[in-house]
């Protein structure tokens, strides 16, 4: 599903991953993190695909909202599990959205 976002500017956090072969608890944690992110002030939406490369883009109204999400205790625990169990590699990017159009 394509996220419904407000008129720019806003921010996109782009999380790109390469998974290993361990699935133990991954889907449950990903779903839990999405539910938790939706409760965070400043969360605007998300888009995610998981194939060979996983890409999740979350949209936020401010850099402060992103920082609060990054420092959420449960999110920190999930980050650590990702490094220890689920990911071979990941990259995180934060970008300011200046323009969006849709059809």
Instruction: Please give the structure tokens belonging to residue 10.
Output: 């806003």
Strand 10-19 to strand 43-50: parallel, antiparallel, or no bridges (unpaired)?
A: unpaired
Q: What is residue 87's predicted lDDT score, i.e. its pLDDT?
A: 95
- pLDDT tens-digit map of 26-75: 999 999 999 999 999 999 999 999 888 999 999 999 999 999 999 999 99
Full set of structural domains in the chain with CATH: 10-97 (3.30.70.100)
- pLDDT tens-digit map of 6-28: 999 999 999 999 999 888 999 99
**Distance between CA atoms of 58 and 17, rounded to whole angstroms?**
14
| Among the listed residues 51, 47, 57, the one whose alpha carbon sits nearest the alpha carbon of residue 19 | 51
Q: What is residue 23's predicted lDDT score, i.e. its pLDDT?
A: 86
């Amino acid at each position: 599903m394509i996220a419904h976002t407000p008129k720019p500017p806003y921010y996109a956090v782009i999380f790109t991953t390469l998974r290993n072969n361990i699935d133990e608890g991954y889907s449950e944690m990903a779903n839990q993190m999405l539910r938790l992110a939706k409760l965070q002030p400043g969360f605007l939406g998300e888009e995610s695909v998981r194939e060979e490369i996983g890409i999740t883009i979350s949209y936020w109204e401010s850099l402060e909202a992103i920082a609060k999400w990054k420092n959420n205790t449960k999110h920190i625990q999930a980050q650590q599990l990702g490094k220890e169990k689920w990911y071979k590699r990941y990259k995180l990017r934060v970008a300011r959205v200046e323009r969006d159009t849709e059809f």
